[in-house]
Chain A
Amino acid sequence: MRHKFKIANGVAISGALVFSGLLGTPATAAPNSLVVENVFQLTSTDPARSFEQTGNMINHALYETLITYVGGDASKPVPGIASKWSYNSNATQFTFTINPKAKFSDGKRITSKDVVFSLNRLKNVKGNPSSLMNGITVSAVSSDKVRITTEKPMPQVLAILTSPAAGIVNSVVVKACGGSDALDASTSDTALECLKKKSAGSGRYILKSFNLTTEVVLDKSKTYWDGVNKNGYDKIIVRNVPVNVQRLNVIKGASSVAVDLSPDQAEGVGSRVNVIQGKASNVFFFYLSANKAFSPATAFTSNPKCVEAARYGINYNKIVRYAGLGAVQAPGIIPSFFSGALTSKDAIKQDTARAKRAFDACGIGNTPVEIGYWGDGGAVNGLNFGSLAALVKEDLSLVGFNISLKGAPIAVSLPLYRENKEETGLWLWGPDWPDSTNYTESFSPGTKVGLRMGWPAGADTLIESLRQKAAITTDPKKRAAIFTTWQKEMNKRSPLIPLVQPAAILVADKSVIGVKDHPIWKINLPELTKK
């Protein structure tokens, strides 16, 4: 018996030794490497085809744009590849002069040919970001000058051109990869796979390796045309890691930056990391379908009195408390840092008595109404759609609505929302480009979200005329005033009810300098340096 025990003990101890010996200590990347962890929203590193958060973050480091922003700012464009630019008074013609020093990572000088090729390719491959180029034409004026012409006044062109999707590619390299900017590029361009293996830009980093589900590795460009940043990281590794593991890794020092933590998760992370708190560019909103004919419920939800009942029935403070540290009530659909954003004094306040009066006037009674949303645990900025929908349901039930929750996986719920097949819905909007026109052009009657809410063109002439005015006004102050008025009118009569603008939380090791949240590329990787 004693002999058996000895054998058992020996086996157990050997097993433990092998186990601990094999596992070793937690891994760290090579010296002067930066490990950024996030839940991948990534399809490729082809700028003309990538339009997701992770893709934007990576492509912003690989491909430079004509103009760009510094730090977390998204309002004042600064020179990128273009050293200067100008535009006419009605914002239909923009001219950019390419910096004569600007070169791609292979040393080739950037010319107008590359710019024209890149932007035409973006337009013609018909990828996810191609719609950015709708109504925009690009042409070469000379080898160092390009002209962008728009069909109608588009002051937002400058903001659009900062998008990583508008990154300038080396036309020679991309053509050699099978790339094309021709009208039939949606079928003839075959550069996608090639651009997952090597980058063809002028950014401070070049692509080392790409894996859609694990990590993307960037190496510092040794030949960057505007001077190599000596304090910048030699290698940046962007990894796909679940949120709860991101938290453990950044606390443990196995990663440098965690991108997706919620405010709750960012609490108690210890003293070796910084918690950088900003405002997310996403705004969560609730809407009631204005499509009278869709269902018995929408015959009522299309009634402005029903919308009023919901608008004043919601307890916004409770939603903000749920959203946690740094979140604010969204007074309008335009986030706080864009031109013309409303302030907290403009925000709708809960008024249950008014809501109940409006509910009675609406006449919906006990007719059941469903709320559609991303339901399989879907969450953005740490906010769970299901929990938010439950809060809205609770408030509206107190007003008198007979509400039921109808969450579904994103692949099921998103088409229902996009095809105007919801009675009410709870969704969010993140900007396609950092300018308030993105909101007037998306939420007014007859625009894409307007139509999703069953709100066709002609439904509100004042709001539509404000949209038109915003589109052609170039003076910044006048634009801001129009955006403000547009939102106030939206808050009075649209089917849309802005709910909350959550906090954007980044948790970074204290040795990393320059971490700031950006509404389009989340983190400006090339700006990060080591303490």
Chain B
Amino acid sequence: MEPASVRVFSLRKILTGAGFLPFIVRRLLTAVVLILGMTFIAFSVTQLVPGDPVAANLGQSAYSDPEIVAAFKKEFGLDQPVYIQYVTYVGNLLQGDLGTSLSSKRPVTEDLKEYFPATLEIAMFAVFVALFLGILLGTISAMTRDRLPDQIIRVFSLTGVSMPVFWTAITAFYIFFFVLGWAPGTGRLEPGAEPPPNVTGLFTIDALLDGDFSTSRQALSYLLLPALVLAVYALGVITRFTRASVLEILGNDYVRSARAKGLSEFTVIRRHVLRPALLSIITIAGVAFASLLAGSVLVENVFSWPGLGQYAYRAAVGLDLPGIMGVSMIVATVFILMNLVVDILYRVIDPQMRDAG
């Protein structure tokens, strides 16, 4: 019997087929409810922290000056009862206003526009590397089960998921920058270098769009090490998942049939093993990508990478509620979008799910 997943469907047919639009609408409506729920939880949790944003943001003398404290509270609406603050926040949110950051003193949307692309750039690179190498290594590992390559890959993947990312970052920086002199250092570009004109916020792309290949290459060289460090954990996870999925599928009758028919090993793996294994790989890859966005704080700190992680850390330390909420919104939105993308890919790969509607 041929597995259902091997049957090929046109992507266009799936995306325009019956049931797809209601599915998307349903998911988007759910997303709105989820985001509103998230704002409530994030707001409540921030209020529960026994800290004081005024004390965290004003200096020792300013904090002792009632006029300055009053002006600060008024500026950021902290003089209002908590429930009013929340209602105001949600009201502004519905108009696309995420408030003003207590630490940067500018609209959170402006801050996010600046910091999010930096994180997106390393996260995309990291997930690409993790997916490519993870699937490759996981498949090799499964194909050579219990032999030397499998053992080596398992050690590497276990190391990847076990090592604290901060430690990996510091060690990689020390080896590749300090000892070998291969890595260019911290930041997104050389000290004092002019960033490319802002189009996407991704320096590698923006420099290319500007026809500035030198800056694009420079941006890529700065991007590489932090992205690879960020990829280590996801690579470990994807390798292990791929190995497990491939091993499970390899034992199926249809794989033996394919081999018995005389198909090459490459064709068997590509068509009859990897394709059905993709379901679980896509699930974990989606979660891994969203986790990379959320979990880049430590890598960004070591590499002085001006991304969402650094912004989130600064907001958390300063009890900058609008900043914290803004980051939470972005991360939640990315998680929701990734889940949506994963579900759509399910429908592309597995027609049974499409049929189930």
Contact = CB atoms under 8 A, between A and B. Distances in A.
Interface of A: 19-20, 22-30, 33, 35, 43-44, 49, 51-52, 126-132, 134, 186-187, 192-193, 208, 211-215, 217, 235, 237, 239-242, 244-245, 248-249, 251-252, 254-255, 409-412, 414-415, 418-419, 429, 432, 442, 448-449
B59 A29 contact: no
A245 B302 contact: yes
Contacts of A414: 52, 55-56
Contacts of B181: 25-26, 252
Interface residues of B, number: 61
B115 interface: yes
Contact of A131 (B65, B115, B192): B65
| Residue with the highest number of chain A CB atoms closer than 10 Å, among B50, B61, B68 | B61
A410 B302 CA distance: 21
B213 interface: no
A215 B64 contact: no
Contact of B173 (A129, A211, A248): A248
A8 B88 CA distance: 59
Contacts of B52: 411, 414-415, 419
A242 to B, nearest CB: 6
Given A19-B224, A23-B176, A409-B51, A242 B304 contact: yes
- Those 6 A-B pairs whose CB atoms lie nearest each other, nearest first: A126-B71, A415-B52, A415-B55, A411-B51, A448-B64, A29-B191
Given A213-B306, A414-B55, A239 B103 contact: no
B62 A127 contact: yes
Contacts, number: 170
Contacts of B106: 192-193
A128 B64 CA distance: 11
B58 interface: yes
B306 A214 contact: yes
| Residue with the highest number of chain B CB atoms closer than 10 Å, among A19, A26, A418 | A26
Contacts of B190: 27-29
A51 B192 contact: no
A251 B185 CA distance: 13
B69 to A, nearest CB: 9
B60 A239 contact: no
A81 to B, nearest CB: 24
Contacts of A213: 115, 306, 310-311, 314
A187 B63 CA distance: 18
Given A242-B301, A248-B173, A448-B60, A33 B191 contact: yes
B355 interface: no
Interface of B: 49-56, 58-65, 67-68, 71-72, 74-75, 103-106, 115, 170, 173-174, 176-178, 181-188, 190-192, 217, 220-222, 224-225, 301-302, 304, 306, 310-311, 314, 316-319
Contact of B187 (A126, A212, A235, A239): A239
B68 A126 contact: yes
Nearest to B225: A23
A51 B62 CA distance: 10
A27 B71 contact: no
A471 B304 CA distance: 45
B304 A240 contact: yes
29 contacts: A25-B181, A25-B182, A26-B184, A26-B185, A27-B191, A30-B192, A43-B105, A126-B72, A128-B62, A130-B62, A130-B68, A186-B74, A186-B75, A192-B106, A212-B103, A213-B115, A214-B304, A215-B191, A241-B186, A245-B173, A249-B186, A410-B56, A411-B51, A412-B51, A414-B52, A415-B52, A415-B56, A418-B60, A442-B60
A135 B162 CA distance: 59
| Residue with the highest number of chain A CB atoms closer than 10 Å, among B50, B183, B186 | B186
B220 A22 contact: yes
A292 B357 CA distance: 69
Contacts of A24: 182, 184, 221
A160 to B, nearest CB: 11
Contact of A27 (B50, B104, B184, B302): B184
